[in-house]
Structure 1
Amino acid sequence: MCSFEAARQPHPHAVACGAWAKALAGLRRINLDGLRWRVFDAKGQVLGRLASQIAVVLQGKDKPTYAPHVENGDMCIVLNAQDISVTGRKMTDKIYYWHTGYVGHLKERRLKDQMEKDPTEVIRKAVLRMLPRNKLRDDRDRKLRIFSGIEHPFHDRPLEAFVMPPRQVREMRPRARRAMLRAQKKEHSNRAKEEEDAKNATAEVTA
């Protein structure tokens, strides 16, 4: 039996114990020379926005040496997958579909049920569907390591926290833009009227 303390240590025996077997699987097939270990904290982050940033790092688009046919993306460690957030009613309305291959065996699962079963697959599916479907996709998938909580077996690596970029102001819709312009025009006319009334009142007092 493996103790909890032993499972937390980033030691090769953890693979034999089975504690981090899935997390450490396939690392030998990755050329780690010159790669950075980027850490993403999914707590409180919106699913789609976080997945898009992870996809950028996996493809190496944040590097000046990016080329679409070269695999030079960094390792991505995602923590607190169980605390990811979604907008709107996606938690109950979003449904994952897959087919077993047998007639009539179309399966479905809601996002809420998938979060209870395995929250790491929610982020993995979102990231993989943002990556190009080519020969480099499997290699990029191996560089993505997702954990439900804060614990991970890569404490001996030179980890680098990823800072999410600030959100850009969404461009206003035409109807909202027209309403804003009308409000500004009305405010400007009211201010001009108040200034004119103040001038008239001052002129009457001096007269």
Structure 2
Amino acid sequence: MKTTFFRPETVTRRWILIDATDQSVGRLAVVIANILRGKDRPEFTPNAMVGDNVIVINASKLAVDPKKGTQTMHYHHSFYPGGLKATNWNKMLETRSDFLLKRVVRGMLPKNTLGKELLSNLRVYQGPEHPHQAQKPVEFKAN
């Protein structure tokens, strides 16, 4: 049996709309990473962009375990002496929940140029409004 490899030009890409209300951060990120990668499609090719575009709404309503919300930290360093800043997940959910979800999904994608290109197909919004009304997105509900 011959193995078939698909090119990105031959694959039709969909827009998938995901509502993040009361979804666990990690479980939702796994679903998003698999859709971006194209692992849910029969045309999956590991070295090509054959995945779909993902729009995530209501990112500010993500569910985080109370213990994990206080213990898990996001670190940022300004490259100046004493410039290390630490923020816990609860505070990140209040202020920058879209960045938090994008950061978790980025950790589940390949660590190369393909991973960076795949991440550009993810759009995360804190509220229910998004500017992608021209496309007809497929409604998707993660477990």
Task: Calculate the TM-score normalised by the size of structure 1.
Answer: 0.62
Structure-1 residue corresponding to 2:126? 148
Q: Which structure carries more strand by proportion?
A: 2
Q: Which structure carries more helix by proportion?
A: 1
C-alpha displacement of 1:103? 2.3
Structure 1's consecutive aligned runs of 4 or more residues displaced over 4 angstroms after TM superposition are: none
Structure-1 residue corresponding to 2:116? 138
C-alpha displacement of 1:88? 4.2
Listed one character per residue, the Cα deviations across residues 3-49 of structure 1 (whole Å, up to 9, x for unaligned) are xxxxxxxxxxxxxxxxxxxxxxxxxxxx8x72100011100111100
The aligned runs of 1:1-207 (5 Å cut-off) are 34-165=12-143
C-alpha displacement of 1:87? 2.1
Greater RCO (CA < 8 Å, at least 6 residues apart): 2
User: If you compute each CA radius of gyration, which structure gives the higher value, 1 or 2?
Assistant: 1
Amino acid at match of 2:107: R
Runs of 5+ in structure 1 lacking a partner?
1-30, 166-207
- The total of aligned residue pairs comes to 134
Q: Distance in 2 between matches of 1:89 and 1:115?
A: 14
Runs of 5+ in structure 2 lacking a partner?
1-8
